[in-house]
Amino acid sequence: MTEGFLPGADTLSYGLFETVCGNDTRVQVTQTNTAPYHFAAHLRISFNEGDYVGSAFPIIRSDKHIVFATSGHCVYANGRFANSIQLSVARNAAEKPFGTFVVNGSELRTSAGWKAGGNQREQFDYGALLISADSEIAGILEPMIMSDDDLENLVINDCGYPADKPYATMWWCGGPVTGVEPRMIRYMADTYGGQSGSPIYTWNKDNELRAVAIHGYGGCPNGAVRFIQAVYDDFLAWAES
Amino acid sequence: MELEGEIVNVMETWPLQLTVASAEKQIHVSLTLDTTVTKNGAEINASQLSPNQTVRIRGKQVASGGVIAAEIVVTNAT
């Protein structure tokens, strides 16, 4: 299915799931330069061991930087930061409405918990790419800190760049939250490799788009790091770094 | 080096990254475009890797303790 503008996931019904969970309910986004899709960015990540694909989205514009949120494992793996990352906002295959920003390793950040490793590190799996504050992009997808109760009743949306589809095409998926943990949420959505770092988003009571988590984990259910105050504080600090 | 353990997490970059729990500790495993994945003697797509599968991994260990996987064999049937 290909559509230009898609409904929120809460307007759809869900049956079986695969990881792609059951039926594959993903929808290609072709009008990537419209809200909410124009926030999603394609990442081509250069690590020593090879190139990887991931996703990201902008959450803060400070005097110094625009801060893109992503997964920690998109910027930092095997004890070191990526050498560089090519970031293309609202990319649709060869179309790059805002061009490509090359972000060097010195402009990457990740949490202390992700760097430290250990058996609980997935809970700290977030990071950032910093680009110049005067860069032209579509806007900022502000985070929203939601209560456990509100998250438990949520149907989430996600858009990113799954690698089983034509290269660097954007795909939307969605599904219900199935678990809420102190730092993570679990949900049933049809994601694939390449979508790490993509925004899990919804609308607030004023019908404004807000990011609630950072997708990072496959399986049924999927997993994402929640925006809680401690996580947001790290991004605010990076915005001023 | 060789590693045997259970997949704890599948991180959705592409290629994938995994957390694998061995008898001693959890290890970060990076796949590359050249990593082969097999199950029941047949090659499968890496996207079929999932938590709770047990795997045998052959690859190169890096200074951080992580492994760059050359070959992954799924050794259980889940």
Backbone CA torsion sign across A94, A203, A217, A16 = negative
**pLDDT per residue over A130-171, tens digit each?**
999 999 999 999 999 999 999 998 999 999 999 999 999 999
Residue A177 is predicted with a pLDDT of: 97
Residue A208 near residue A144 (C-beta atoms within 8 A): no
Let me know: does A53 contact A74? Beta carbons within 8 Å: no
pTM, two decimals, is: 0.93
- Give one DSSP letter per residue of A77-106, joined into a string: ETTEE-SEEEEEET-BTTB-TT--EEEEGG
Is residue A60, in this structure, part of any structural domain at all?
yes
**A198 or A119, which is more confident?**
A198
User: How many domains does chain A contain in total?
Assistant: 1
Q: CA-to-CA distance for B20 and B66, rounded, in angstroms?
A: 10
B13 touches chain A (CB under 8 A): yes
Q: Burial, A58: exposed, middle or buried (Cβ in 10 Å; 0-12, 13-18, 19+)? A: buried
- The CA distance from A159 to A215, in Å, is 10
Yes or no, beta carbons of B11 and A119 under 8 Å apart: no
φ/ψ of residue A236, rounded to 5: -65, -40
Nearest CB partner across the interface for B11, out of A49, A80, A217: A217
Task: Residue B23: list chain A partners with CB under 8 A.
Answer: none
B68 Cβ under 8 Å from any chain A Cβ? yes
> Is A22 inside any structural domain?
no
- 3-state DSSP call for residue B30? strand
**A9 in any annotated domain:** no
Q: Topology of B2-74 in CATH?
A: OB fold (Dihydrolipoamide Acetyltransferase, E2P) (2.40.50)
Phi and psi of A120, rounded to 5°?
A: -105, 15
- In this prediction the ipTM stands at 0.95
What's the whole-number average pLDDT of chain B? Answer: 95
Contact assignment for A79 to B66 by CB distance below 8 Å: yes
For the segment B25-69, what is each residue's pLDDT rounded down to a tens digit? 999 999 999 999 999 999 999 999 999 999 999 999 999 999 999
Q: Does A110 reside within a domain?
A: yes
Instruction: Kindly report the CATH number assigned to the domain that includes residue A98.
Output: 2.40.10.10
- Is A223 within the bounds of a domain? no
- Tell me, yes or no, whether A82 lies in a domain: yes
Domain that holds residue A107: 40-139+234-239
Cα distances (angstroms) measured from residue A155 to each of A105, A162, A169, A177, B44: 35, 20, 23, 6, 32
| pLDDT for A4 | 40
Residue A23 confidence (pLDDT): 76
Q: Is residue A78 part of a domain?
A: yes
Q: What percent of chain A has pLDDT over 90?
A: 87
CA dist., res. A156 & res. A25, Å (int): 13
A50-94 confidence digits (pLDDT tens): 999 999 999 999 999 999 999 999 999 999 999 999 999 999 999
